[in-house]
Amino acid sequence: MRPNGFGAAETNAAGPESDVVRQPGVAAAPAGGAGGGHVVAPPKPPRRKRALGRGGMLAVNVLAVVLGIAGWWAASAAGYDVPTPGAVLARAVDLAKDGTLFHDTVASLRRVLIGFTLGTLLAIPVGFLMGWYPLARALLEPYVQFFRTIPPLAIIPLAVVFMGIDETPKIFVIFLAAFLACVISTFQGVVSVDPTLINAARVLGARDATLFARVVVPASAPFILVGMRIGLGSAWATLVAAELIAAQEGLGFRMQNAQLYYDLPTIFVALITIGVLGLLMDRALLAAEKALTSWQDRR
């Protein structure tokens, strides 16, 4: 007999051998063993999800594309004001035959690559300076955070006033979009480096140049590459608006021109071309990320 919490008595009929320690989600072993019944079954290790593998992922990707095209065709057949996949494909063939699609693609790619490359090349050292030197962070961070709150598209009128209507303002707004996305990611990568690694390198006699090359840069590489992928998306998103600045060629210009004549197939061709180019460039950066960060544990 033992008192319960309310002053009454309760009987432990099963005796001490029934006092088996139980844990949530863990089945206890039956009493009466050699250990006096206080036996706890070890928790089962969590099952790891089986990866699809490269072939499985490719099959799922192809299936997703097929389902998307089927849904597109169904929407067109249901009466929605959407051109059929066949009409878009025929328009793409026509634009490719007369060279329009090629020249527009080259013009847009040139602008994106120049703006994205310049933005990334400037963002990486600025991010390192902000993350490594407190004085540089105090000087630069207010400006970076200020311009981050202003959409690059809002800079277009000012860029036209100061830079004219040639290629310079178009590339500038793309550069600004890529720079702001990449500099924050690089800065976050530097400040996230494990201090233990830095201290260990200093104990071994590493100077700042060696410390940057052997510790800070490899540890920050995943953040930098993620920032580059985000910056690439921002560059393509800014391209269409940038090509509205008195452009004579480009995928964004072609869409704007087609809108005046309600030429939906041409608009779809330009949209799909931008999406495919952006996807291919993103996959290239993803492959570079896997190659440069192969030391990471990806479980």
pLDDT tier at 45, thresholds 50, 70, 90: low
CB 111 within 8 A of CB 243: yes
Calculate mean pLDDT across residues 227-231.
91
Distance between CA atoms of residues 203 and 255, nearest Å? 59
Q: Which is more confidently placed, 78 or 299?
A: 78
pLDDT, residue 157, reads 84
* CB count in 10 Å sphere of residue 187: 25
Q: Which is more confidently placed, 272 or 132?
A: 272
β-strands 9-10, 2-3 pairing: antiparallel
Judge whether residue 241 has pLDDT over 60: yes
Judge whether residue 47 has pLDDT over 50: yes
Max mean pLDDT among 46-60, 150-164, 200-214 falls in: 150-164
pLDDT, residue 49, reads 56
The overall average pLDDT reported for the chain is 81
pLDDT, residue 277, reads 93
- Count helices and strands in the chain by DSSP H and E runs: 11, 2
Tokens 């097929």 belong to which residue?
66
Judge whether residue 16 has pLDDT over 60: no
Judge whether residue 133 has pLDDT over 60: yes
Q: Where are the domains of the chain?
A: 84-292
Distance between CA atoms of residues 285 and 229, nearest Å? 7
User: What CATH class has 84-292?
Assistant: mainly alpha
Of 41-45, 131-135, 166-170, least confident by mean pLDDT is 41-45
pLDDT, residue 81, reads 85
pLDDT tier at 39, thresholds 50, 70, 90: low
Give me the DSSP letters along 28-61.
BPPSSSTTTT--BPPPPPPPPPPP-HHHHHHHHH
pLDDT, residue 15, reads 45
Residue 26: strand pairing partners: 23
